[in-house]
Amino acid sequence: MEYVSTRGQIRPIGFSQAVMMGLADDGGLVVPKDIPDVRGRCDDWRGLPYEDLALEVMTPFVGDIPRDDMRDMIHRTYDVRNYGGPVAPVARVGQMFVLELFHGPTMAFKDVALQLLGNLFEYILARRASGARAMNILAATSGDTGSAAICGVRGRKGINIFVMHPHGRVSPIQERQMTAVLDDNVHNIALEGSFDDCQRIMKELFGDLEFKNRYCLGAVNSVNWARVLAQIVYYFSTAAEVQKLTGAAKVRFAVPTGNFGDVLAGWYAMKMGAPISGLILATNENDILARFFSTGEYSLAQVRQTLSPSMDIQLASNFERYLYYRVGQDGDRLRGLMKQFARTGRLTVPCGCGPAGVSACPGGINRTDPDFQAGAAKTADVLDAIRQCHSRHGYVLDPHTACGWAVAEKFLPGDPIICLATAHPAKFPAAIEQATGRNDLARHPRIDKLMSMSTRSTLLANDKQAVREFIVNRLERP
């Protein structure tokens, strides 16, 4: 498999180079040159253990790592010692199913990909020439990516990680999960700005190729293709499991999203041939993606703080990958659209319904792509979803999962809906108590232990140069 950039200005590269490059050197995102069609193999994959299914799903995308080595990395990643049981168990809750992706070490869906990515980094670095066996990860997080990435690489030889989070805009527990890790190779930055500011600075520093190459910068954000690839697997595993439980020919997934990475993985699975009839995209009040899939216009608005901080995003970095396919994999056209967006804060993609425009689109689906249905959940909707789900079914949703649940309820009935549970509710006790009036529902021993641990982070101005100097000073100190 070869990989290219969405902006069309890098030569084709292999999987390992794509992993290490992170953000493409031309400012675009790395994508596979082709999407493999595996629909003829899905029946053979039913019933495989998660680790074996992961190997089968990933193999068509990985051409330069021996299969036995990939098998070893995958099995170490999803070992029971990391998860304590199944990687992606499914619970039936009322009329829907919930895919629990919070059983990893940091209790968020990011673990599924970032634990693998840590193993990939270590494997690839060990096989490089001796002078190139170092990597300095620069990451931006709206909450969960930071702790999962830190957990994946803490203490690893030859790897430093610098994580920017928006100061005061992640939950107290999310902040502690990052800042209570005191390993020498972990550097936490509290940036005086929003997640979008963190992500912008990260991309600008990656765009400085002299700086990127000199300091061996690598990416763990979902701009890294390996993140998306690892997430494709659980769409296949869960679709097969719910088909078996219901007898349905196809299923739907409801995905709470801010950066478009998790729902994009579902879209890739769908295009590969997984039995998925549609994706329900759910946002909170930061609804740039929901608005796009309703109107065809992608336009910036002010970032609003909500009960689901990991989704408090306006600039969805993975959306560029989706746009690349919407414009026919035309890198020049995509590059023009992104320049327009950088200049004006908006872009428009024709819906394909002819001269009548969006008004001619059929009802019941979104107006720009029949693969997606979309909606936004306001704070009241989120609180009501948490409250009603607990009172009716005895099941506790975290506020991000509640966004997906609230939006999914609008699209009942139809093919079975699987709502992705992206974090354990114990990470957001204030929201659970606000919704239910109870302070005993959102607890977990790992979280309780965090509260007595020492922390370390550095507060920096919302300024690219400040972050750049921080990185240089940490890497060049004696």
Q: Is 250 a catalytic residue?
A: no
Residue type, 135: M
Nearest to 60 by CA among 317, 273, 321, 330: 273
Whether the CB-CB separation of 289 and 260 falls below 8 Å is answered with: yes
Order of strands across the sheet that contains 96-100:
90-93, 96-100, 417-421, 251-256, 276-283, 372-376
- Following DSSP, what letter does each residue of 116-144 receive, concatenated? HHHHHHHHHHHTS-GGG--EEEEEE-SSH
In 3D space, the residue among 228, 268, 282 whose CA is nearest the CA of residue 407 turns out to be: 282
Instruction: Write out the DSSP string of 171-192.
Output: -HHHHHHHHT---TTEEEEEES
CB 257 within 8 A of CB 422: no
Selecting among 33, 110, 378, 464, the annotated active-site residue is 110
Q: Are strands 297-299 and 217-218 parallel, antiparallel or unpaired?
A: unpaired
Dihedral sign, Cα of residue 77, residue 79, residue 82, residue 86: positive
Q: Where are the alpha helices (DSSP H) in 189-257?
A: 195-207, 209-214, 225-246
The helix (run of H) or strand (run of E) holding residue 474 is helix 464-476
Q: How far from chain centre, in Å, is Cα 224?
A: 10
For residue 21, what are its two tokens? 């490059």
Query: What is d(CA 444, CA 446) in angstroms, rounded to the nearest whole number?
Result: 6
CA angle 471, 477, 478 (to 5 degrees): 155
Burial of 213 (0-12, 13-18, 19+ CB in 10 A): exposed
Which of 263, 290, 343, 303 is closest to 99 using CA atoms?
A: 263
Cis peptide bond upstream of 413, omega within 30: yes
How far from chain centre, in Å, is Cα 281? Answer: 13
Enzyme catalytic residues: 110
